[in-house]
Amino acid sequence: MTETVVRIESLAFGGAGFGRVEGKACFVPFTAPGDVARIRVTLAKPSYLEGELRELIEASPRRVAPPCPVFGTCGGCTWQHLSYADQLEAKERIVADTLWRFGRVEPEKVGRAVAAAEPYGYRSRVQFKVRWIAGKLQMGFYRRGSHYVVDIPGGCAICHPALNRVLAEIRHVVGHFAEPDRIPQVDAAVGDGGATVAVVHYIGDDREGARAYFAGCRSDLSAVEGLHLQFGRKESIEPVWGVDGLTYGFPAGFLPELPEMSLGFSRGGFSQVNYHQNRELLRTVYRMAALTGAERLLDLFCGNGNFSIPLARYAAGVVGVEEYAPSLEDARRNVLTNGAGEIEFIRADAATGGRHLASRGDGFPVVILDPPRTGAKEAVAEIASLRPERIVYVSCDPATLGRDLGIFRKDGYTVRKCIPIDMFPQTFHIESVTLLQKV
């Protein structure tokens, strides 16, 4: 491919720097606004180019020194070379631009991003990729755009320190396993009290041998409180030893008159990767929901009850819908643990759950939804059929959010405001909470 020179103007969703080459849009990872870069064109399309940074002819004054020695090679982080203030500004603009492009949401409805108190060492869940190459263990994260594992023997800058201790110990244990090439991944998570669990993925045929080996490794894994093996889908996870789940909490008085709460999630279950920012997420949802105690609340994609359980005390009734059975079990346990009263949980995907509720004549003045990255397109019609006055949409992808907001508009809803919340510093990923109201 050819080489060319581009001046970087801004940052794009996906993390790359954006510039123009002969009028054509050009995207270059690991560049900063103000850079003048010599690039190798790696992809040429009629309307845009993608490039690989070869040389910084002129470095932007907005650049900072990244603390991670494999930044730029590892695909985990995209923006360690930018100040945190610049990251936040970029995320606000990206959310505003994306919602306008995909959903025709006016940019002025997007507020200031809620900054993270700790831009490093925040990540509470991680998937360490594993490869055994030429007799050497590689354990870390994929290189951007590939399945090549970038080794991180010194730990990850954005991971909670407890997870880096798990990485150091599990690396040794996996390296001495008889079939290290049959372990593609190790999941690790930490609760906000510091307890940790690890899930080792095993794709070999000797399951009994794997069970026996890892059962005998407890003394070598002092940083791990619970170890589990996974043989396929999440439903195949089985315990080896130690704790089965973790907890995180909300302090007393965090919301008005809210008692201290502790929510648990089991191995394989979902939790937000940034506990401190999860509190800001709940605070924003609470404000947008504007519950008075008279409304029934529907929580779609409710998981372990992250929103429905703390908000139950402000609603006349709560229904949670979740497809993943272990998360619903976590939610039911969390209701009992926290004395949250009566919450009805339904196991179903959001669309099916919505149809079921509509068929029995239910209506909900307030609906909260927190779908995966793919969004909630299939459930929009069912949500609208429940006649909510307010919809609070939590999203981790501005593009699918914008698409869904456009669909909601056709059903008579308008966006009042959108608040970005930075759950993922040093990366281009951004969470947001959007309030829609019936026109």
The set of catalytic residues is 396
Give the span between the Cα atoms of 397 and 209, in whole angstroms.
Answer: 41
Of residues 239, 245, 127, the one with CA closest to residue 197? 245
Give the span between the Cα atoms of 7 and 33, in whole angstroms.
Answer: 8
Give the span between the Cα atoms of 300 and 322, in whole angstroms.
Answer: 7
Give the span between the Cα atoms of 420 and 433, in whole angstroms.
Answer: 6
Give the span between the Cα atoms of 140 and 129, in whole angstroms.
Answer: 5
- Determine whether 323 is exposed, middle or buried from the number of CB atoms within 10 Å of its CB (0-12, 13-18, 19+): middle
Q: Side chain identity at 395, as an amino acid letter?
A: S
431 has which bridge partners? Answer: 421
With vertex at residue 118, the alpha carbon angle to CA 113 and CA 123, rounded to the nearest 5 degrees, is 95
Cβ neighbours for 417, distance < 8 A, ≥ 6 positions apart? 109, 110, 111, 288, 434, 435
φ, ψ of residue 78 to 5 degrees: the values are -120, -20
